[in-house]
Structure 1
Amino acid sequence: MKKNSIQIFVWIVAVTLLMFESNAAVAQAKKRTVQKNTTAPAQQPANNAANPYLQNNNTNTNSNNPYLSSGNNANTPVANSNANTNATKPQTGIGCREYVNMPSAEGGLFDTVKVSLRPDDPTRNYEMVRDKTPLAYDFIREDDAVFKERVWSEIDIREKMNQVFGYASNEDNGNQRLISIIVQAVMNGDVTAFDASDDRFTTPLNKADFMKTFGGGIDTVQRKDIDGQPTGICEIRPRQIVADSIYKFRIKEDYIFDKEASRLVRRIIGIAPMMKRYLSDGTTVGDDLYPLFWVYYPDIRATFAKVQVYNPKNNGARMSWDDLFESHMYSSYIVKTTMDNFKNQYFKDYIKDPLFRLLAGEKIKEKIFNYEQDLWAY
């Protein structure tokens, strides 16, 4: 009986030792696994550096490419906020390993017009045009302005009388469309464009925000081979804005009767090009046109005085754009007025029929004309 007790004790000790050895082996295996997992990421940067299609935003590399974006659409690249972005690595998902800047195609609104190296018209003295200044307005005292009405009118250049506004010709001073003249003056810093949220010229726009009003910017297109397969090279092009897509202008102006001069004076306050609103996929939002930006007319008069208007009957007898606006040699229709407008609304807000809107504008013109005529005794 004593011998059996000893054998049982030895057996228990042996089982206990085996259990300790097994637990130690498992712990050692777990330790090796943890060490292996913690050392693996140290080799990851080297693997990423060898792969040109992977982008690591935390790597200190060259940042000369301003067109790389973080998580944006490939067709609308923006500047990356991370200053350490690699210039040669594309954003994730695009597959571009190289970017190539491409010039814009001809016909865009922001194109640069080449200057002629020889006199294009030896018979014309261009110095008189370049040095021309607008005629200063006569000062009107507040007490002399016995009548004043403010109107907002629109010019549709598709009308026959207004076709000179879309004269598509390039001269040394740029494209001769009115919208191109205004855009060039803003881009050159000659005038300031204001936000179209209101027509009181409260918020000036910088050049970047000014281009965004047209939906302009930069497109990134991946270059493909003859089989239609991506090559890994992306072309960066300025987004083209068709100048002829802007065919309406809104004019803000005052009609003032000056009793000192005994005449009705018309003063233009601002000009705003109008365009349809587009979604990101290119579809239009309704059929209405909205102002893109406002330009203070007294600021742009100096530019208009130096640009001549196309004369379809005689190319040697041209007037300046300032003369055209001051003489009101264009067709327009009133869309809003301060006369009997207690809610400060446009005609379209309370007149649904487009024909009745035109008739309402003609009635405003007639009232202003009759006021001036009724002051005289015949």
Structure 2
Amino acid sequence: MKSRVIKFCLFAFSFGLLVHDAKAQRRPRNSTSRDNGNNASTGAPTQQNNNTSAPTNFSAYGKLPVEVDSSGAGSTTGSGKSMRPDNAFGFKDSILNERTPLPYEFLRLDDALYAETVWRELDLREKMNQTFNFKGQEDNGDQNFISILLKAVQDGKVTAFDDERFTTPLALPEVAKRASGGTNDTIPVYDLQDASKIKSLRVVKKNFNPDDIKKFRIKEQWIFDREISRMVCRIIGIAPLKTEYVEGTRKELGSSVMFWVYYPDLRPTLARYEVYNAKNMGAQRMTWEELFESRMFSSYVTKSTLDNPGNKTIRQMIKDPILALLEGDNIKDRIFNYEQDLWSY
């Protein structure tokens, strides 16, 4: 009887050791994954980004491995060059590449009888400005105006500046960050065996969306040259305005300046891009440089240096949006009437 009791105790003790070892083998994997944030399969720490905007429903899945994908950050997609003539005229590269803007007429400071600096905004949703949103591909790339502008900056043909006085140049990574918004997207990675199971989260850089650019700001100067007896307009700089949205929605909060580009530096690039013409896509199309010099766009005045000792925008002085637009029209009329009043009929 005593030997049976001893055998039973030894069996119970051995079984307890086996159960304890089995639990000990399972516990380190779970505790390491939860306590230290390591990957359960590799033992390496998972990468996490504080800037990720993970959807709230991902919190129900607990601590999942996070993968960071650094490819595709805020740059415009290029287009391949056509291996055959894409039209009946043949290749037009030689014609486009040889186009140069006409040099400006020299203006003497002593001949400037009148000068006024004006800031304008172009709303691309207006009918006259629809050509700025043309989503077409040609041999020289995307024909959307913001894509042309970004490509010129990325290729080093023009320099992006942080301010409208062109004092602080921006590096290319900073331009790409401002274009994409500087945030990341978190997307789920589903299991190949079970499509309803999320095995990890992947952090990808948010791509630049050209549709977020709905306005452009232009800084220009109107000068009356008494030597030629007429008003001259010279564009100083162009800045794209990026639309800001409420996080997770498409509700607009406003717009902010991405960067400024010195327009005289941009003119040679604009002379090599043709403007979309809805009525005639013939060989003799207008270039972007000709469009700006011919003033073939719709805009409204947001600021002027005349009668503005506080250096404020119109909206800062006039809160009502309708009255602010009317004040911008008054500034346009004032510039026009100054030239007309100098003549006698």
| TM-score bin, normalised by smaller chain | 0.7 to 0.9
Task: Give the SS at the match of 2:330.
Answer: helix
Give TM-score scaled by structure 2 length.
0.78
Q: Does 2:201 match 1:201?
A: no
Amino acid at match of 1:292: M
How many Å separate the matches in 2 of 1:69 and 1:155?
42
Q: Does 2:243 match 1:254?
A: no
State the Cα distance separating 1:71 from its structure 2 match: 5.7
Residue aligning to 1:335: 302
How many Å separate the matches in 2 of 1:304 and 1:358?
30
Cα deviations by residue, 1:324-369 (Å, 9 ceiling, x for unpaired): 0001011111000011001000011011111111111111111111
Match of 1:293 among 253, 259, 276: 259
State the Cα distance separating 1:374 from its structure 2 match: 1.4
Residue aligning to 2:58: none
Task: Give the SS at the match of 1:148.
Answer: strand
Task: Give the SS at the match of 2:175.
Answer: helix
State the Cα distance separating 1:256 from its structure 2 match: 0.5
How many residues in Structure 1 have an aligned counterpart in Structure 2?
Answer: 299
How many Å separate the matches in 1 of 2:261 and 2:49?
35
The structure with the largest alpha-carbon Rg is 1
Cα deviations by residue, 1:230-272 (Å, 9 ceiling, x for unpaired): 335x656442222122110000000001111222110000001
How many Å separate the matches in 2 of 1:278 and 1:207?
24
Residue aligning to 1:16: none
Amino acid at match of 1:201: F
Structure 1: gaps of 5 or more residues: 1-43, 57-67, 77-92
Residue aligning to 1:228: 196
Q: Quickly say closer, same or farther: Cα 1:322–1:73, change in 2 above 3 A.
A: closer
Residue aligning to 1:135: 102
Cα deviations by residue, 1:300-330 (Å, 9 ceiling, x for unpaired): 1111000000111111141100000001011
Give TM-score scaled by structure 1 length.
0.71
Task: Give the SS at the match of 2:307.
Answer: coil
How many Å separate the matches in 2 of 1:167 and 1:121?
18
Amino acid at match of 2:108: R
Task: Give the SS at the match of 2:297.
Answer: coil
Contact 1:75/1:221 (8 A) holds in 2 = no
Q: Does 2:69 match 1:55?
A: no
Q: Quickly say closer, same or farther: Cα 1:50–1:135, change in 2 above 3 A.
A: closer
State the Cα distance separating 1:288 from its structure 2 match: 2.7
Amino acid at match of 1:185: A
Residue aligning to 1:239: 206
Amino acid at match of 2:122: I
Structure 2: gaps of 5 or more residues: 1-31, 55-62
How many Å separate the matches in 2 of 1:50 and 1:290?
40
Contact 1:309/1:320 (8 A) holds in 2 = yes
Residue aligning to 1:72: 50
State the Cα distance separating 1:273 from its structure 2 match: 0.7
How many Å separate the matches in 2 of 1:376 and 1:203?
43
Q: Quickly say closer, same or farther: Cα 1:75–1:285, change in 2 above 3 A.
A: closer
Worse-superposed segment, 145-154 or 184-193: 184-193
Larger RCO, structures 1/2 (Cα 8 Å, 6+ apart)? 2
Residue aligning to 1:324: 291
Residue aligning to 1:309: 275
Task: Give the SS at the match of 2:131.
Answer: helix
Contact 1:53/1:95 (8 A) holds in 2 = no
How many Å separate the matches in 1 of 2:335 and 2:298?
17
User: Identity over aligned residues, as a percent?
Assistant: 45
How many Å separate the matches in 2 of 1:327 and 1:122?
29
Q: Quickly say closer, same or farther: Cα 1:109–1:74, change in 2 above 3 A.
A: closer
Q: Quickly say closer, same or farther: Cα 1:350–1:50, change in 2 above 3 A.
A: closer
Cα deviations by residue, 1:264-297 (Å, 9 ceiling, x for unpaired): 1100000011123356x44579643221111110
Contact 1:133/1:305 (8 A) holds in 2 = yes
Residue aligning to 2:12: none
Residue aligning to 1:32: none
